[in-house]
Amino acid sequence: MAAYRSAAGFQRVLNAVKHVCLMQRCGVIICRYSTVYDPNEKTFDKILIANRGEIACRVIKTCKKMGIKTVAVHSDVDSSAVHVKMADEAVCVGPAPTSKSYLNMDAIMNAIKQTGAQAVHPGYGFLSENKEFAKRLEAEGVTFIGPDTHAIQAMGDKIESKLIAKAAKVNTIPGFDGVVKDAEEAVKIAGEIGYPVMIKASAGGGGKGMRIAWNDEETREGFRFSSQEAASSFGDDRLLIEKFIDNPRHIEIQVLADKHGNALWLNERECSIQRRNQKVVEEAPSTFLDPDTRRAMGEQAVSLAKAVKYSSAGTVEFLVDTKKNFYFLEMNTRLQVEHPITECITGLDLVQQMILIAKGYKLQQKQSDIPINGWAIESRVYAEDPYKSFGLPSIGRLSQYQEPLDLPNVRVDSGIQEGSDISIYYDPMISKLVTYGKTREEALKKMEEALDNYVIRGVTHNIPLLREIIVHPRFVSGDISTKFLPEVYPDGFKGHMLTAGERRELLATAAALYVAAQLRSQKFLGDLRVSIVPAESRQWELCVELDQGVHMLGVSRSGNNYTVEIDGEKVEVSGEWNLASALLPITINGKHRNLQCLLRTAAGEITLQYLGTSFKLRVLSKLAAYLSKHMPEKIPEDTSSILRSPMPGSVVAVSVKPGDNLTSHMRTYGPFPRNA
């Protein structure tokens, strides 16, 4: 029996007030979309959000603006989650595993009955594209805020959707239109199509159940792994095979359709920056499309939506080659993760539009009313280690968390707060960081600033990778494809590579920070701690270690200004040195920088997040550096007998048993596809 809890508590009221205030601020400056509430547009009294995290919070925000009460569902480990605190009511639907909670249809249906919710918004993922769930809601007289079951079924099956797309005169990728029976048939089909081929889960999405194969052996392996992943992720192990378009762009069209036959395309989103077929950075519009190609893609997307009598917000995804030929990939019959950037450039609240459409209202806009107003960039901030396969999940508790919402034209869609846990049970996304500008250059500069001001402690995160992407010359010029990451970082991501000038900046900042800390330690409430402390020095000789390099520095101070001499070069560093603050806004040689001090010890160890990447330094006085040479070195831990997992997770299979012989040339299969 699901546990039910009302929202009468004082803490919930405080959270509701907090988020309403944030929403009012977002509506004008930050979010760049409007939720115009008309009291005469009667919709629903109460909506249950069958999801968690940031998308649940996002839906709740619009519901509050529309005067609609909300019900949150949650697993037992999510009982204190932000979306639970924001909602008017909350119901526990089971233990942590998704199969027993957020995918537990019986528990969610019970929650609907307990709370009297009239409609359900599924968000994305989980049950958002589950036709059986939509049917059960319909049978109980509860409105599903999304398309009808026919559209979900037709577009959720990649084989059927491709046939419908062909009939609707939508460009499709050459391939086999049936279900692949086994690995040997997969090899035969791949040979007929011609390598490379893409093996895909028929019911898949989000990059799951997808493998690229370049030969027969990889086809057999891909068939096995894709079918296993598809079965575990979607409960459907059917696969299809199609020609792999090498070096493409991933560009999608947002569509909006009502129950009266009206449909619009809301321009495109460029989603080419991916790892393992999952998006990392998106933008709207695309630098690649011209007006004619955009119109052709939009019209084909609308044609497909009308062919399945689609009625809600949806996304038609295309692969676009270097000659601007575009091919239908799939249609997502739900709200897309990256929908905020479309809201930024069109001004529409897509969640509000979905609610109005579900209630039966006609679209109030015409195609000529849909603008491209400015430029928006979205970075997906994950609890991931970007130095491992561009991002292997990390877990932990957010010991410190601060979103850069004090910056104008910045939007953060998140479902966590300081103290939240990132666990093994759910997607490790922390937030979607969105910046907006009148031009792409302005949006990119704002993203750079926002990433530098984003404070995340307690988990490993991918901000170093995100920042490197958005400042890379290829990305800035728009020369991108789905192969961007492996092409730019063929040996894996290594963090920011310092130029000579940047190295001097970093060394000088560490030295100035060290001196500021030393001076603060000598004082108590502005006075010297003890009378025998010598007069404050104005000159320091320091030894700074960075990347096994040793640098002798001279530092002089005047107020909050420090002059640091490094190898005959002078670097001017100034700022308000609040050593208790997570952020260190400073000026280096006249340039404003935002650094973060991640670690500072009495032994002179300092870890600074600079230009997105964390760097470990050691700052010592000249005497301490001399004496440290006589200290014994710490012997590193012997890990030769230890087998460590590269990422947190559950062991699902052990393919060896006692007595088996293991050889050094045995091939190891990881959780991710080769060449993906």
Per DSSP, the residues of 560-576 read TEEEEEETTEEEEEEE-
Q: 7 with 90: CB under 8 angstroms? A: yes
Instruction: Give which of 465, 508, 463, 459 is closest to 606, Cα–Cα.
Output: 508
Place of tokens 């998006």: 279
Provide the sign of the torsion angle of the four alpha carbons 259, 263, 264, 265, taken in this order.
positive
Report the C-alpha gap between 658 and 643 in whole angstroms. 16
Instruction: Give which of 624, 628, 606 is closest to 540, Cα–Cα.
Output: 624
Q: 197 with 243: CB under 8 angstroms? A: yes
- For residue 386, CA distances in Å to 364, 393, 485, 534, 612 come to 43, 9, 11, 47, 12
Quote the tokens at residue 500: 């000579």
Quote the tokens at residue 144: 């599903």
Cα 156–chain centre separation = 23
Q: 619 with 629: CB under 8 angstroms? A: no
Q: Catalytic pick from 12, 249, 334, 380?
A: 334
Catalytic site residue 334? yes
Q: 94 with 107: CB under 8 angstroms? A: yes
Beta strands of 177-216 (E only): which ranges?
Answer: 197-201, 210-213
The CB density around residue 429, as the number of other CB atoms within 10 Å, is 20
- In single-letter form, the type of residue at position 541 comes to E
Residue 404 preceded by cis peptide, ω within 30: no
Report the C-alpha gap between 50 and 180 in whole angstroms. 33
Give, rounded to a whole angstrom, the gap between the first and last alpha carbons of the chain.
Answer: 43
Give the phi and the psi of residue 98 in degrees, each rounded to 5: -60, -35
Per DSSP, the residues of 499-511 read -HHHHHHHHHHHH
If residue 85 lies in a helix (H) or strand (E), which one and from where to where? helix 82-86
Contacts of 629 (CB under 8 A, 6+ apart): none
- For residue 642, CA distances in Å to 301, 393, 572, 638 come to 53, 21, 48, 9
The CB density around residue 450, as the number of other CB atoms within 10 Å, is 27
Alpha helices by DSSP H, 276-420: 291-307, 339-346, 350-359
Q: How many helices (H) and strands (E) does the chain have?
A: 18, 34
Q: 580 with 513: CB under 8 angstroms? A: no
Q: Which residues pair with 252 in a beta bridge?
A: 269, 317
Q: Give catalytic residue positions.
A: 334
